[in-house]
Structures are given as structure tokens and as C-alpha cells.
Structure 1
Amino acid sequence: MRKNVLIVGAGGVAHVVAHKCAMNNDVLGDICIASRTQQKCEAIIESVLRKNHLKDPARKLYARQVDALNVPELVNLIKETKSEMVINVGQSYINMSVLEACIETGAVYMDTAIHEEPDKVCENPPWYANYEWKRRERCAAQGVTAILGIGFDPGVVNAWCALARDEYFDTIDTIDILDVNAGSHGKYFATNFDPEINFREFKKVWTWVDRQWVQQKVHSIRVDYDFPVVGSCPVYLTGHDELHSLSKNIDANSIRFWMGFGDHYLNVFSVLTNIGLTSEKPVKVAEGVEIAPLKMLKALLPDPSSLAPGYTGKTCIGNFIRGTKDNKPREVFIYNTCDHAECYQEVEAQAISYTAGVPAAAAAILVARGDWDVKTMVNVEELPPRPLLNLLDSMGLPTVVSEKPVTFTAPVIEHVASV
């Protein structure tokens, strides 16, 4: 049994992770929330206590300040707090330093997004091979459990791919991961998670087509799909984390990711990009100060956590999978819908944070119980999916399987560039 959780980060996803871990602290033990700004951690604790979510009041829930890029400082914090599990939900720039601290201390490592370097955007695929997988042998040699990408996408969608492979298909032709937010936050323009990381995704599109990496232009390929519950929504071919492990671990001809965007979002994003405000490269202003336009834009836009109180509507995320079973063609749509207002009522967060945070807490429970304590580095599709999905059914993110879904029909994707 593993005990005591260190949550690194204090944003919207960390907020949800803290609530769900507190609701299961009889299994998880003491919980420490740490970030550069301890005040943000304290605010999360206040929310947990306000909702009366500390299941076992004898267990500690407390905050610490930490520089997550400082490995010795993280090592000391892990030892001081006696944390046997670390859930990294900070900016993706810190992934390798947090992972290194876990390897040095033997603590379990979990994250919800792939590692990025601040000065490198949309590197050549597969992205996990650039950083995370280079440390896999060290994890195995030292018996360190490292679970990569255990949010929703990546995370739950990876588990759905494993479920489809294990229970629904003999062969898989295509997997189309569809993510749409049909909610409304009432702001002129905002992103649902860190704007800096969000906009860095939209520099180029790497997708897996006919068993090779293909590069496409951003927001250039659109499909309108009739989703369950939320109805018809436009989605655009987009690059995303999970493709980079699924292409290696799931035997499928094509694996693609599609994200929903409204016309207003795309128009504003286009203007911001065309005038250079989504650039990560520093520029010098008249006073001689250097600043990356993207960082300034992040400071100007609403904090994603601030969107939660007035958010209405629902999200729908699902995998449309096409293949064969018993020598017959088969199509299945595996999905979840989540309501913004219900999420706020439960944990004072919006649904985007909720869908990313709940699976990380569920994974911690599975590790604590021993179900997922594999003592090596894995992506989610390499783990048995049923324990996670069964647990999520009871934690607020139920899985629905439609065996006769509306067919998702994508256009032919030309090979603009490939690696």
C-alpha cells in the first residue's frame, strides 16, 4: 500500500485533484499541495474544507511553497512530507524535474500532459520519445512507477483505446478522438486551461495516418459531428499528446485527434496569431525589457479557474473507433459527457478541469491499492483499463459505449509533410 500524496501545482486541475484526493484520504493518507505560490495552495484547501470533502479529518491537508524546477528542493519536500505518490499537475515545463525527483526518492510519479521545453514548440514526433521514454529504463531498474498522461485526453481516452482493443475489436482500422466543449463561460475570449500551453498546441498539426506521422496546417480540416447529448458541433483536426503513445502501443492504421472550436474563437485566435501575440519568442519593447508575447497574453486573459462559477453547458469527449469483430465491420463510440454547473456545485471547478483532474486522483487510488503500482514507466493504454473506468464510474466520470453510433466521416488527409 502506498500512502501520502504530494500534489504539485495549484491551477484548476490541481484544485479538482485535491478535492477528489481529500474525498478518498482514508485510502490516500496525508495530502500536501505545493506550488511557487503557497497562497494558491491555501485557497484550494479552503475550498476543500468549505465543501466538507476531507473524508478522514485525522489526515493532514496542508500547503507548501516549492520551485518545481529545483530537483534538490523537490527531493527534500518529498522526503519531508513522506509522500509516496506525486501527482504533477503544474505547467508541462516542470515534468522532467518532478520525474527526476521521484526517481531519486522512489516516489510514484503521475502527470496529465506531455513534457515541453519553453523554447521548443511542436517538436518532431513521437513526443514521448524526446523526454519521458528516455527515463523508462531508470524507472524499471529502480522500481519506480511512473504513469504518463493520466488526465482525460490524454488519459481516459487512452484507456478507452485499450478497452476497445481488449473487448470490442479483433482489428482496429481508425481511432478518432473527439473533444468538444459545448459550454459557455460568458467571457469575450478565454481558454479553458493554461493559455500559454493551449496556444502552443496550435503551431502545427502532427497526426497518425496510414501508420506514419503526417503534418497538417492548423485548423485546416473540419468535420461536423452529431455528438450524444450536446448535438452537432464542428471539430478540427489537431495534434495532441496521446497520439504519440497510442501510435506505438495500439495496433491501428490511423489515430487522429479532433477538437471543437467555434467561429468566434477561431476568429480571435487568428487575429492574435497574425499580429504575433501567440508567439513564444521574446521581443524587446521600447524600454529595453524582453517579454514573450504569449506570456503577456496569458496575463491579460481570464484565469481558467475564474470561469467556473458562471459556466453553463456540457462537454463531450469520445473515441469513434472503426474496425472488425468476428470478421464483421464494427463501429463503436465510447464517450463521456460532463456538466459545467454540476462540476462547480460539487468541487467549485469547471468541467474541463474536472475531466482532467478526477482521473489523476483515481489513478492515485489504484496505485495505493496496488492495482496500478507497476514499478516502471507506462502510458495509460499499457495498463488494464477496467479498474480505472469502473472507479471513474463512481467518481463522476461514467463511460458510455454506443454500439450503433452516428458515423464519423473524416475527409481524406493528404500527406503535406511526414517524418
Structure 2
Amino acid sequence: MAKKNVLIIGAGGVAQVVAHKVAQSAAEFGALHIANRTQSKADAIIQTLRDKGHRMPFASHALDAMDPAAVEALIRQLDAGIVINVGTAFINMTVLEGCIRAGAAYIDTAIHEDPARICETPPWYGNYEWKRRDDVAKAGITAILGAGFDPGVVNAYARLAEDEYFDKIDSIDIVDINAGSHGRWFATNFDPEINFREFTGTVYSWQGGEWRENRMFEVGREWDLPVVGKQKAYLSGHDEVHSLSARYPDADVRFWMGFGDHYINVFTVLQKLGLLSEQPVRTAEGLEVVPLKVVKAVLPDPASLAPDYTGKTCIGDLVKGSLDGKPGEVFIYNVADHKQAFEEVGSQGISYTAGVPPVAAAILVARGTWDVKKMANVEDLPARPFLELLGRMGLPTRVIDATGDHPI
């Protein structure tokens, strides 16, 4: 059987990781293509592949990914069997449409967002992606949603707990800590526009069988985690809560993200000044500007942080439940190193943790293990093959259970 060509859409820090991991796994695929609105950014990633000595066929392309007809045409032109969408979350639905029309497998790393809306009524997947389930099945393609780290790997951690530790799950607390330092006065680790939009609306969590609402930074607690130690994290809204709550409706599902006091102070000032608004304003000179886009323009490009980044991340699931009526808990997690990520693929650890998993998903689709010919979130798929493959690709999983701290 012919190996599938891969089309990466997007050319940021995560796309660079995806490209390098595809190239490292060249035996699994055919050719590698990278498409972006600004083709020179795709060219720059390809140059980093050449610098590492990769030899698989690769090429760059200009693409307006907001145009589903253009996406379809490029997929057909390249005979791409797998599309990995790591562009902005604003393009998910048009890229998915292009894949449905062209018959290509689709993989993304985040829920679709409408640029005109922020923090819509949950569950967010129900607003966009899940409405296309029947179309995906009729087209006979595989569409894997949210296959980054969170969402993505943390969803697989919940599924692993379901498969191997509990017959009843009571709670899933996802904890994301970045204990690294990029050396800049202030910066975001990925697209500032998407980053800030996550935190400007209502924080939704699934507790007691219903959606609970909080304000950002309203609920915080200290976590004592492997390697990174004691860290303050805050209850936050996040993609995976919306799909996990559907699979585990009787469990509490919460997401906690670590923030330092400096980040919170800067965020608060920007928000109170109205600089995080996505609504246009007019300057005294008559120029119409979007404050959030201005903030994005003046902040460092997240990809530029990589060379100076040091420290580690720790991301995991604390899952509580019972087996045969006996209560217990497990913490399933990964620790990644920013410097090691840069040395391997030229990106920082946040991009690394987000970029490796969709390639692992693509490999499992290419092998047939995850080629399910329907739409699925990661927790709907077998977890162990995914997590074991990730371990071989640089993101090993560990578990703290009643027997101690050990690899899966």
C-alpha cells in the first residue's frame, strides 16, 4: 500500500515541531508538504529540516486556509492522505471541509473558534466540529480532534485511567505547569490572540453534572508536582473539559493552569485598559484598530522565545475513582525540557509538547490503528498505543499510583 503524503497547515512554532517529527518518522509517510498564508514561513521550516539533514521529499505552498475550495484543491494536487492542521483555531472548519471534500484524514490540536465570538456556551465542540460528524462518516475519512497535548495527551491519560485503573471515575483534574523561563519581560508561549482569548471570558468547568462558571484567576490552589515542585495553578476554561465531560458525565472535570504573579498583573492591566478586546476601536487619527491585534503585534513572536528558554513543564491528570468499589487515585503525567526541545527541533517545550502528539496520531492513522473512518476525540480512541508511541518520540508518560512513580 502506498504511503500517505502529509500536508501540514500552519508555519508557527508548533508546525516546526510537527515537520521535524514527520521527517524523523519518514519511513511512515510519503512526501511532506507545508502550507501557510505566508509561504516564506513554510520555507523557513523546510530550511531547518535541511539543516538537520532530513532527506524525505518536502515542499512549501501558499494557502488561504479560510477558503475550503483552496484547501480541497491543494489536497488533491498533492495527493495528501493526512492533513495536520496546526494553524490558528479560526481555520479548523474550513480545513475540515476541505478534507471532507477531498477525502483526506484530518487532525487538529484545538477546538474551532469564531473570531467574532469569545467563550461561547459549552460544550464548545458541539458548536462546530461535532455538527460535521455525519459528513465525516459519509465521506469515509478519519477526523481526530484535539490531538495536541492539552487537549490531546491529557485526554488519553483519562482514557488510560478508565481502561487500566478504574471502573468508575469520579473526577479528572488536568494540571498544566510551565516552570520554564524565556527571559523576556512578558510574552505568551503561543499565539497571543488565542492565548488571551482563553482567559478573557467565563471559566467553565464540569462539576456535579452541570457546567459551573467562574472568573479567571478566581479559584486557585497549590499543587506539589514531580520535578517542578510546588506551583500555583488556577481553574481555567479549556478545550478538553468540553469533550471529556461528554464521555464522563458523572465525573467532575476541571482544568488548572499555572500562572505567576507577573503574568497575572500584566494580564489584568491589559484587560482593564480594554487592550484585550477583539472589538475594533477608532483612534484620534481616524484609524480603525483591534486592540487585541495591536497587543499581539507588539509582543514577541512565540517562536522567537525558543533559543533562550530554560526549565521544564509538567502536565498531567489527577484521576480519582474506584475499582470493584475500592477508591483510589492516579496521577498520569509528562515532564518536558525546553532546552532539550530546542536542541532537537529548534522550538521551545510548549511547542514541542503540542507538536509531537499530532504526528503520533498521524502515524497511528497511517498504520491503521487509529484510522477509524469517523470523527473522534482522543479519549474515544485506544490510549496505550498512542502513549507508548509518544514515549518513543520524546514525550514519555509516567504514573504515580499505589505502587509508586513509574513509566507506563
Counterparts of 1:251 and 1:14, CA distance in 2:
34
Residue number in structure 2 paired with 1:178: 175
Equivalent in 99, 104, 107 of residue 107 of structure 1: 104
Residue number in structure 2 paired with 1:135: 132
Residue number in structure 2 paired with 1:318: 316
Question: Could you give the per-residue CA deviations for residues 347-403 of structure 1, whole angstroms, max 9, x where no partner exists?
Answer: 010000000000011111110111111100000000001110010010000000000
Letter in 2 for 1:153: D
Give the % identical residues. Answer: 58
Equivalent in 121, 126, 139 of residue 123 of structure 2: 126
> Which stretch of structure 1 is more off in the superposition, 112-121 or 249-258?
249-258
> Which stretch of structure 1 is more off in the superposition, 98-107 or 23-32?
23-32
What is the 5 A alignment of 1:1-20?
A: 3-20=4-21
Counterparts of 2:248 and 2:390, CA distance in 1:
22
Counterparts of 1:320 and 1:14, CA distance in 2:
29
Letter in 2 for 1:38: Q
Counterparts of 2:248 and 2:387, CA distance in 1:
18
Residue number in structure 2 paired with 1:264: 262
Decide whether the 8 Å contact of 1:277 with 1:294 is kept in 2: yes
Does 2:380 align with 1:379? no
Residue number in structure 2 paired with 1:396: 394
Decide whether the 8 Å contact of 2:209 with 2:249 is kept in 1: no
Residue number in structure 2 paired with 1:246: 244
Counterparts of 2:403 and 2:9, CA distance in 1:
39
Counterparts of 2:386 and 2:379, CA distance in 1:
11
Counterparts of 1:156 and 1:345, CA distance in 2:
23
Does 2:301 align with 1:303? yes
Residue number in structure 2 paired with 1:409: none
Report how far residue 60 of structure 1 moved.
Answer: 1.2
Residue number in structure 1 paired with 2:194: 197
Q: How many residues matched?
A: 402
Counterparts of 1:396 and 1:292, CA distance in 2:
39
Residue number in structure 2 paired with 1:364: 362
Question: Could you give the per-residue CA deviations for residues 323-352 of structure 1, whole angstroms, max 9, x where no partner exists?
Answer: 112321101000000000000010010000
Counterparts of 1:12 and 1:108, CA distance in 2:
22
Decide whether the 8 Å contact of 1:276 with 1:293 is kept in 2: yes
Aligned partner of residue 73 in structure 1, secondary structure: helix
Residue number in structure 2 paired with 1:28: 29
Counterparts of 1:251 and 1:211, CA distance in 2:
6
Where in structure 1 do 4 or more consecutive aligned residues deviate above 6 Å? none
Letter in 2 for 1:35: N
Residue number in structure 2 paired with 1:167: 164
Residue number in structure 1 paired with 2:47: 46
Decide whether the 8 Å contact of 1:332 with 1:405 is kept in 2: no
Question: Could you give the per-residue CA deviations for residues 43-82 of structure 1, whole angstroms, max 9, x where no partner exists?
Answer: 1111112122x2xx2x311100000001111111111111
Report how far residue 405 of structure 1 moved.
Answer: 9.9
Counterparts of 1:138 and 1:375, CA distance in 2:
11
Report how far residue 251 of structure 1 moved.
Answer: 4.7
Residue number in structure 2 paired with 1:84: 81
Report how far residue 287 of structure 1 moved.
Answer: 2.4
Residue number in structure 1 paired with 2:93: 96
Specify every segment of 5 or more residues in structure 1 that has no aligned partner in the other structure, as ranges. 407-419
Residue number in structure 2 paired with 1:155: 152
Letter in 1 for 2:182: H
Residue number in structure 2 paired with 1:212: 210
Aligned partner of residue 363 in structure 1, secondary structure: helix
Does 2:62 align with 1:61? no
Aligned partner of residue 242 in structure 1, secondary structure: helix
Counterparts of 1:252 and 1:378, CA distance in 2:
20
Residue number in structure 2 paired with 1:226: 224
What is the 5 A alignment of 1:342-357?
A: 342-357=340-355
Q: So what's the TM-score if we normalise by structure 1? A: 0.94
Counterparts of 1:212 and 1:337, CA distance in 2:
32
> Which stretch of structure 1 is more off in the superposition, 23-32 or 301-310?
23-32
Aligned partner of residue 201 in structure 1, secondary structure: helix
Counterparts of 1:107 and 1:399, CA distance in 2:
30
Aligned partner of residue 390 in structure 1, secondary structure: helix
Specify every segment of 5 or more residues in structure 2 that has no aligned partner in the other structure, as ranges. none
Counterparts of 1:253 and 1:371, CA distance in 2:
28
Counterparts of 1:197 and 1:30, CA distance in 2:
30
Letter in 1 for 2:280: P
